Structure 1
């Protein structure tokens, strides 16, 4: 009798443990395999990704938008030493084209100024050898910044890009090859944006929401591709210091530029921006190129609060999530099988629908949430991305209660 009871007890325990493991499995989102961030998986660096490298679903999404008339038929521009030019016989107004490089025109969805009293913290052209020092400085001040990264630079400095994540910095897109996007055809723009998003996703699990065009070169065609295919919002700026002119050796690469002709001229431009009225705030263009460009920022940053400025990253000043599939860097991102926003949105919607705990906030399909940024990269509310932790805990309690009852019954049988 006792041997039979022991066998029954062991079988019962095995079943319970199996059920608990199943519960654990279902307490997380289904994991889709991300690409291994092996450098050989990506297009050649500092070159526009060839059409042959584009995933078919990206191409299909673009071509469907073109067929639907959602991509303006604006021709590719030409870049010369004198500037950006379109064909002379083009029968479109500058307003229809809306090229910032030519007219300073902003798209209706562009982010180009800060909220009152806000100093937006953002940097272009990373990651570089100088980036970890910047990330550590920001982290030591509990400060998040938006880092518009070049895809090719992530390939070259992958560990530094990962360090940005570890120090609570937001990753955004600055194209694959840092080229002028209005000079690219539709498929080239697709690759420049898509592959940068892909490598960011591969190292982080997070799908970027924002991009900044190199040198501000963007028109309504490029915007339509960014927004229509990937739901990337264009982020511009309203103040410049030309810190990029200062090279590794501390000398200026553009002695004829003001600011930019010297380190002093860069500092003077920053000081001028610091003294501006607080309405609107300031979105100054800065770079993480070398120790000098980083040093300009670290020198003035401690003065911001005393001058009445509130430093925030791009999404923090807008009060929205950092990524399409995650609130920030602290949570577990929702996995997706593609960078296409339609796919990402579907994954987020499906994940939200599984959340039965009304106390958990959701990552909305438009990328917003009810979390409030507090200026340090951490939202004040929870979100479902760690998935129904309370309901999982309740399930565990039920299983272990059943286990206790079963064990007690088996023991009583053994010793009768």
Structure 2
């Protein structure tokens, strides 16, 4: 656990002594060893305002910057990053998610009320927790976990990740991760970048720390968080739009929020409509991890939650011990990264755009192959077949997810 928690105001990025805590320093050392320099050297964007970053247009396609043209990485690149999740692969599966909470308002249009509505509708979901909110309401994080919902990370400050330094990105993950572990005794495998602000630098750092990015299906954002004038009419309009989703269709991942009473009530009303439809409801709402058939958490999911912070000496010792294990893992990851490998990027077009595609290579090799859909994260000792020209390359990798998190955690 960290020596102290960063501020909870969500106004500024993490700075100062919070970046030198062993929790962050140990992980950063691992990142610098395990992640290829070509990704770590991608220049940060410029923060403009909450949820807005000025990203160089010339680099946006190359670095697969999602807000630019909804670019996603749809295949794992061993030694580099894990594929994004932006939809559910099976028809009518609905990855139902809530961002930015938890919040508490005496059980009225808050996370507690949302949990009640989920139970009434017999729906399990994914909660993407903002660390600075979770540390104020760990009991709500625990309640969601105990109810069977998936807990995942949404950073500490909700700052656009591409505008941060490598060190700050690591800190966003590590403090949020520590908060979640303290609340439920589990280490998530997934995160959602605030506002979908992600590029290959963020993907690579997140993957090395054990996280797969979850975006959302472009047309399945309820837009409630974008409303500036929160009126009953605005709520009714959004809820009417959500009900247009209630039809058989390809699997998708939605974006909803429990950040305030306005956004949370829309989520509650959505669940009430699902419950009212009963057995005739055509979709199957479920956690993202369930719809893509990937685990919610790393390692032992039954570890008892921590109730107090460990001393800085203990944290440093844990970090040092785990970093020793990282050396072997990082060497395997680096070896895998050196092998020729390519991944096809499918660019999901906006309604008015023409679909395009792009291919990225994890090495200097010029051959490429096409693939689509999310691939399971490579685990320790897993053989990953990577297409290189006409031949398939069997690569033994330590696994970014397993190696990164265990090596740099200092939590267990």
**1:328-367, aligned counterparts within 5 Å?**
331-332=302-303, 366=379
Establish whether residue 231 from structure 1 lines up as the match of residue 196 from structure 2: no
Where does residue 251 of structure 1 map in the other structure? 231
Q: Distance in 2 between matches of 1:323 and 1:138?
A: 21
Establish whether residue 85 from structure 1 lines up as the match of residue 47 from structure 2: no
Residue deviations 1:22-63 (CA, integer Å, cap 9, x gap): xxxxxxxxxxxxx49xxx731222243322235331121122
Deviation of 1:83 after TM superposition, in Å, equals: 5.2
Gaps of 5+ in 2: 75-82, 105-109, 307-314, 329-376, 381-412
Residue deviations 1:106-152 (CA, integer Å, cap 9, x gap): 12300001131101121001111110111232234443211000000
Where does residue 342 of structure 2 map in the other structure? none
Establish whether residue 104 from structure 1 lines up as the match of residue 77 from structure 2: no
**Pick aligned residue for 2:236 from 259, 264, 285:** 264
Where does residue 30 of structure 2 map in the other structure? 61
Gaps of 5+ in 1: 1-34, 253-260, 347-363, 368-416
Residue deviations 1:158-202 (CA, integer Å, cap 9, x gap): 222222122222210000001111111111111011110111011
- Matched position secondary structure for 2:27: helix
Q: Which has the higher strand share?
A: 2
Establish whether residue 73 from structure 1 lines up as the match of residue 41 from structure 2: yes
Higher relative contact order (CA 8 A, sep 6+): 2
Q: Is the 8 A contact 2:130 2:157 kept in 1?
A: yes
Residue deviations 1:301-327 (CA, integer Å, cap 9, x gap): 323752311111011112232101245
TM-score (structure 1 length as normaliser) = 0.63
Structure 1 pair 338–235 and aligned structure 2 pair: CA distance change class (3 A): farther
Where does residue 170 of structure 2 map in the other structure? 190
Q: Distance in 1 between matches of 2:324 and 2:177?
A: 15
Structure 1 pair 93–112 and aligned structure 2 pair: CA distance change class (3 A): same
**1:93-132, aligned counterparts within 5 Å?**
93-108=59-74, 109-114=83-88, 115-129=90-104, 130-132=110-112
Establish whether residue 172 from structure 1 lines up as the match of residue 152 from structure 2: yes
Deviation of 1:274 after TM superposition, in Å, equals: 2.0
Structure 1 pair 286–209 and aligned structure 2 pair: CA distance change class (3 A): same
TM-score (structure 2 length as normaliser) = 0.64
Structure 1 pair 234–141 and aligned structure 2 pair: CA distance change class (3 A): same
Q: Which has the higher helix share?
A: 1
Structure 1 pair 87–289 and aligned structure 2 pair: CA distance change class (3 A): closer
Where does residue 28 of structure 1 map in the other structure? none
Where does residue 274 of structure 2 map in the other structure? 301
Of stretches 208-217 and 334-343 in structure 1, the one that deviates more from structure 2 is 334-343
Q: Distance in 1 between matches of 2:273 and 2:261?
A: 14
Q: Distance in 2 between matches of 1:100 and 1:201?
A: 29
Q: Distance in 2 between matches of 1:314 and 1:341?
A: 31
Q: Distance in 2 between matches of 1:165 and 1:342?
A: 32
Q: Is the 8 A contact 2:186 2:303 kept in 1?
A: no
Where does residue 241 of structure 1 map in the other structure? 222
Q: Distance in 2 between matches of 1:158 and 1:334?
A: 11
Establish whether residue 49 from structure 1 lines up as the match of residue 49 from structure 2: no
RMSD: 3.5
Q: Distance in 2 between matches of 1:84 and 1:304?
A: 42
Q: Is the 8 A contact 1:147 1:171 kept in 2?
A: yes
Deviation of 1:80 after TM superposition, in Å, equals: 3.2
Q: Distance in 1 between matches of 2:203 and 2:323?
A: 15
Q: Distance in 2 between matches of 1:323 and 1:365?
A: 14
Where does residue 256 of structure 2 map in the other structure? 286
Structure 1 pair 290–240 and aligned structure 2 pair: CA distance change class (3 A): same
Q: Is the 8 A contact 2:256 2:263 kept in 1?
A: yes
Q: Distance in 2 between matches of 1:121 and 1:287?
A: 10
Q: Is the 8 A contact 1:231 1:341 kept in 2?
A: no
